[in-house]
Amino acid sequence: DDSPRKSSPIPENGPGVAFPPPGMHLEAEATKHKEGGYIKAWLKALYIALIAAILMKTGWKLGVFDPRRYRDYTGYNTDFRKFGDGLWMTVNCSLTRAEEVEALLHAAELQGDVHFGTHRQRSAIMTCIVPSITSDAHFHFLDGGEGGYTAAATAFKAKRKRDPVLGASSANA
């Protein structure tokens, strides 16, 4: 299967919906000047979150907004891989699979083929840019909720410090 969803850690039917959303206070803080104060901004965010939760849970359409399509495109539009001087990924897998992947990476590292750092966590954070809910042009950034890429890079750098040979040919993590 070569579909763009093949390796996405986002569930096939999109991410879960929580009400009230845990970051609602951040939305209110970011829009308080435009909305005439924090309380008004928080109440507006609460109202929008309630409508969104109802639509996302029921699948009901509202105007041109189709929650099923939005959830499908959330998976397509989520950035869970980073490319730079290396590859960084957020992966959703079982403990057994994580151990298998780490064993393969460790064997490849001993051969001098790769240099890596990992960090396991129980949660992820999705940050969304949604200019319009009626367009497929929304974008989502995914990282671990307990340190993510930064923690993996820290583990890599600590390993490199303990054994400089492991990271000798690597650029910055």
Please report the DSSP string for 48-68 in residue order: HHHHHHHHHHH---BTTB-HH
Q: The pTM is what?
A: 0.57
| Helix 38-58 × helix 67-76 angle, to 10° | 100
Where do the domains of the chain lie?
17-60, 66-173
Tokens linked to 62: 């509202």
CA distance 82 to 150: 12
Q: What is the pLDDT of residue 2?
A: 56
Please report the DSSP string for 112-135 in residue order: TS--------S-EEEEEE-S-TTS
CA proximity to 155, closest of 114, 123, 116: 116
Consecutive 10-residue runs of the chain (173 residues): their mean pLDDT? 60 79 89 96 94 93 90 78 73 89 92 88 81 80 82 86 65 41
CA distance 123 to 118: 15
Q: What is the pLDDT of residue 73?
A: 82
CA dihedral 56, 62, 64, 70 (to 10 degrees): 0
Q: What is the pLDDT of residue 5?
A: 56
Please report the DSSP string for 12-35 in residue order: TT-----SS-TTHHHHHHHHHHHH
* Residue 141 C-alpha from the chain's centroid: 5
